[in-house]
Amino acid sequence: MESPIYPSHDTRRICFRDHHPHPAQHHSTTLRSYCISHFASSSNKLHHPIPLNRLTLETMFFPSLVIAAAAISAVSALPAVHLTTQYTAPDPEPTAAPAALGNQAKVVISSSSTTTTATSTTTSTPSKTFALTGVTHTVAVGRGGLKFDPDNVVAQIGDVVEWHYLPANHSVAQSSFDKPCQPLNEHAFNSNFFPTKEGQNPEVFQVIVRDEKPIWYYCAQTKGNHCQNGMTGVINQKFDSAFTLAAHRELAAKTNVSTTLDTVQGGVRIANPNPLSGL
């Protein structure tokens, strides 16, 4: 009896096999194969089946061929699967600009941050940066008594204010207008003390002007009550307001005792860049 099997290697033909028990062997069959063309001949009739060969196979082996043929046919019938790979570039690592004075081209006030999750990416407000102007304002500390000279500096954003220390032992500490003789907060700039016997101290203290708000400061020396006796100063005072340096000193005179921070912060303490220059 004929039964169709998988197509032959020639895709233009379909092959059939029939099998009959072998009269002499109980467990054997005779397998005959025929192939016919898929296409009609020029006379529009199919070619007659042509016997190709004879194979004698064990009965127990023949089902394996049928199963293998069915498996190959099933795999061939599967639709094509297209795989794609999606690549997401990692966020660039953020870069931090070092805080510096002098000839540094730019200064970063606050750093930006990027937060990445599995579903979204959120970026904070970019860092505010500004270029240094290259302008340095020199202030003499203690020249002519308990004074800052000049005591009122007008500076632009990006300018540097540099304090040069004269005898005897002074400091520069940032305060607020209404509380003249104590630190503005824990982040206020502070130079600590500069003991100086004669001439200029070999070191100076520098601070960058970062905005246009008034910056109030004082000397925290308690021996002789420097702040209470008028040793205060200001950067960018608002001349059209009641918050004047004179009013600030009146408040300082009413203060009992000066306080200060223990660390140098908010600026840099460096070697005097012009030790032989006059003040």
Residue 86 has pLDDT above 80, yes or no: no
pLDDT at 211: 95
Q: Which one-letter DSSP state was computed for residue 209? A: -
- Yes or no: say if 258 and 228 are a contact pair by the CB < 8 Å rule: yes
Q: Are the beta carbons of 127 and 107 closer than 8 angstroms?
A: no
| pLDDT at residue 2 tops 50 | no
Q: Stretch 6-20: mean pLDDT, rounded?
A: 48
Tens digits of per-residue pLDDT, 164-197? 999 999 999 999 999 999 999 999 999 999 999 9
Q: Supply the pLDDT for residue 128.
A: 63
**In CATH, 136-271 is 2.60.40.420:** yes
What tokens appear for 117 in the block?
A: 């999750």
Which pair of tokens denotes residue 31?
């397998």
**pLDDT tens, 197-213?**
999 999 999 999 999 99
Terminal CA-CA length for the chain: 121
* 161 burial via Cβ count (<10 Å: 0-12, 13-18, 19+): buried
Q: Where are the domains of the chain?
A: 2-74, 136-271
**Residue 137: pLDDT above 90?**
yes
Local structure of residue 211 (DSSP, 8 states): S
Torsion, CA 195, CA 201, CA 203, CA 206, rounded to 10? 90
Residues 200, 138: Cα–Cα separation, whole Å: 13
- Please give the average per-residue pLDDT across 134-138, as a whole number: 96
**Segment 236-251, tens digit of pLDDT:** 999 999 999 999 999 9
48 pLDDT more than 50 = no
Structure tokens, 169: 């032992």
pLDDT exceeds 70 at position 35: no
